[in-house]
Amino acid sequence: MILTKKLSKHFFRFALMFSVLFSGQNIGHAEDQYSDDLIPIMTSNNTPSGIVSASSQWSGSHQPYNAFNDSANDYGWVTSEGIKSGWISYEFQTPQTISKYTLKSRNYNLSINENPRDWTFEAWDGSDWVVLDVRNNVTNWVLGEVKEYTFDNPNSYKTYRINISSNNDGAALSLGEIEMMSKNIQPQPEPEPEPEPTPTGDNALLVIKMISGLEKEFELTASEVQDFIDWYNDRADGRGKETYMFDKDFNKGPFTGRKDYVAFSKIQSFEVMEYTK
């Protein structure tokens, strides 16, 4: 140990541990945010863009694109009479990463039992349909109600569909409106730097652990500790001298002065233990 002077003080430990690379921050996770509907207001099954398809339709007034026309009318999409299951899909022009969809019931008093009961939300990967979300026993529909569903999806696809295996025992299967959204990527907040320690005691014992495993100890005043911390922070930012000089005024022996030089690149960590005499 470099420090041989015995300390006869009452220590209280105000521990300040540093590593060469500062780390550690608390990052809160905000509630997930989603885009607006990514499907344009469709005026036909292929205009203004994309392609709408379905397993069947009741009549010309209930074509598949009616489920994507953002209209308050009661037409929507309806399957052929007596068909209580089916699918409806939308193909984007470019791949999209969908992780939320909404379903709106037709606002028509005879269609409440035509709403989906059991279904999967799927994406086409070029060879197979990939199931992204599964819903079962959805029976609590209200006329004109919008239901929202979210799920995890890290991949992008061009075509998505709702594949409905059963309705609520209506004469056919129907939907008033369908929307698809992506999750907004939240920017990662800049990590907050660790607060710089400010010595509060009159004196302190500075213990520096070197990469070699050697420990150096220095008994310093509060201002001397602050000078060292300022130098260390400057070097961490690429400023100042590579080495720090400690002027040791004890055990000089026959020498007029003793100086100890510590290189920043050789420091693994340091600890400050403050005390009052």
CB atoms closer than 10 angstroms to residue 269: 13
- Do β-strands 98-104 and 77-78 pair in parallel, antiparallel, or remain unpaired? unpaired
In whole angstroms, give the CA distance from residue 237 to residue 118. Answer: 59
Domain covering 51-181: architecture: Sandwich (2.60)
For residue 197, the model assigns a pLDDT of 55
pLDDT tens for the chain, 277 residues: list them. 333 333 333 333 333 333 333 333 333 334 679 999 999 999 999 999 999 999 999 888 899 999 999 876 668 999 998 999 999 999 999 999 999 999 999 988 777 899 999 999 999 999 999 999 999 999 999 998 999 999 999 999 999 999 999 999 999 999 999 999 999 876 667 776 666 555 455 778 888 988 888 888 888 888 888 888 898 998 888 888 888 888 766 555 565 557 888 888 889 888 888 766 5
For residue 20, the model assigns a pLDDT of 34
CA distances from 27 to 24, 185, 195, 223 (A): 10, 15, 16, 34
For residue 23, the model assigns a pLDDT of 33
Q: Where in the chain are the domains?
A: 51-181, 203-275
Tell me whether residue 189 is exposed, middle or buried, using C-beta atoms within 10 angstroms of its C-beta: 0 to 12, 13 to 18, 19 or more. Answer: exposed
pTM over 0.75: no
Paired tokens of 99: 């992780």
For residue 21, the model assigns a pLDDT of 34
For residue 29, the model assigns a pLDDT of 39
The answer to whether 88 and 179 have CB atoms below 8 angstroms apart is no
CA 133 from centroid of its chain's CA atoms: 21
For residue 12, the model assigns a pLDDT of 34
